[in-house]
Structure 1
Amino acid sequence: MIAHHAGGIPLHNASRHNTAGPSRSTQSSGRKIAALIALVAGFSVAFVLAPGMVTSRPGDGYADQGELVETVRAAFVEYWSSGVQAFSPSLESAVDYWLRYHVAKAVIAVILLTVLLALGRMLKASFVNAGPLTAGKKLAFVSAGGLVTILALFSSVLVMANVQGVVAPFSSLISMLPVGETEGELADTLGQVRYQLAESTGARGQENPALDLMISDFARYHAAMAVIALIAAAVSLGVSVLLWVRFAKTARSDRRTRFVSGSIGVLAALFTLGLIVVGVANMGTAADPAPALAAFFDGGL
């Protein structure tokens, strides 16, 4: 009787129960991972397509990027010719649209990053808790984890860039100007901008009030990225330290956990260094924006 029962439960039923339990857990984990992958795909498409659709207003006339560029081209010429710092109505409308556009992009990028982090945690747990794996399955886990990690880092860059666009939408917008134009009103305007920027970098003072605003906004644009990058660097450094502490505390026998912690810790450390470089470079540009702005307008020549 004892040989066939344990605590009143037949041993063959208990064995069947133990086998079914992990199977259900594996199936549930697989469904969750599949759902997260579907969300990543959906929000990736939304990042590209949704902002333009949800931020457009009747009368904007920005059906695609080509139309927006044409609007910016005409609005910039009008603004420069106005001789005042206040935006012309057409430029103000374009800047307002670009602000809304970047807000939408930033929100979607944050959601995408959150989903990727959740997917990464699920993959890590599945990899660490999985039983014996063939070489092919190990390679699949490592490849999937590496891809998700890279996509998460890329999504964080998208968040940073779009927050920068929210802070200084005017400078972000004028980056769409075709500065290599050689004929027409825009070419004449660009020539005047280049000349007066050369005057300003020579400490002789700028003549057009619009140039004052362009330079100050360009400084804000780069100051924003400097702050964003350095905050992100602090977060990334903290994550790297936590991962390396976990790596050091994990038993050598738990090779999978050590591999995941060490690999992501290295990537986080490299990402931190890159962010520091970006932050310092943008601090320098923010402190003296006129030469960098002149270089932008000279870029098409």
Structure 2
Amino acid sequence: MTTDTPARLLTLLSLLQTPREWPGGELADRLGVSRRTVRRDVDRLRELGYPVQASMGSDGGYRLVAGKAMPPLVLDDEEAVAIAVGLRAGAGHALEGVDEASVRALAKLEQVLPGRLRHRVATLQSATTPLTSGDGPSIAPETLTTMASTVAGHERLRFAYRSGDGAESRRLTEPYRLVSTGRRWYLVAYDLDREDWRTFRVDRVSEPFATGARFSPRELPTGSAAEYLRRSIRRHRETYEFAVTFAASAPVVAARLPEWVGVPEPVGPDSCRLRGTTADPVEWLAVRLVMHGFEFTVQEPAELVGCVRELGGRLLRAGGGEGGA
């Protein structure tokens, strides 16, 4: 019999998070208490924000349903390890869809993992290779989780940095946001020594250290970290403009494109046009356009038009189409 109320509530919550309905009598037997106690415990969970739904009947049942907010979850060992391994695999590469929120979730999870589970996560991580690892450089998940923690906690971050020309430096920053471009992770931060905003490629960061010193976030010069990064890349690298028309509505296309690429403008009920500036190779942009699954037409530049045609012919031949074997 579970006499400790907090421990019993956690056990009850763990049972209810299994996607099924639990008869009151079965819960009472599992917890070693009366059905009246189960009802009281369910009321306590509701007071804590857990949407527990009760059904009528001779042995009324309980189940956890979707609510207005996301309450804390109780994970068993296997679930915690599975989530941590999955998040670490995605965080190690700037995969589309694995954004700062995912890295923050990983940071929170790893902060509370017992040592024995940390060892299991590390062992599984080292023994597996993701089928799709992205085309950007790999990054130690620990580096990202340290950065994500300082971003969330408004905590100054110190690290070693290697610039594009190989110059080494030490930086003390007020981290603002982590941004994934689909190929790389970047940190947007205020550099205290240079008294200005800077962007840092995370794969060039080493020895990240959370100093413990708190700060009040400054106002970014642009509306979002993604826009600031886009402008920063444009200033430091040779860029080109592109224009693409998609055979799909603007909201549908926007939902599949990373924010840094730009925002498509509607030109009809089932079409939209995307104009943007990028410093990425035209080959890489062509592949990204193909991967998003929409019919599209490239207007400019001519180099991108030629690259898309060449890529299309290559894919056609690979599939045994015109000109293929």
Give the shorter-chain TM-score range. under 0.3
**Max radius of gyration: which structure?**
1
TM-score (norm 2): 0.19
- Greater relative CO (CA pairs within 8 A, separation 6+): 1
TM-score (norm 1): 0.20
Select the structure that is richer in helix. Answer: 1
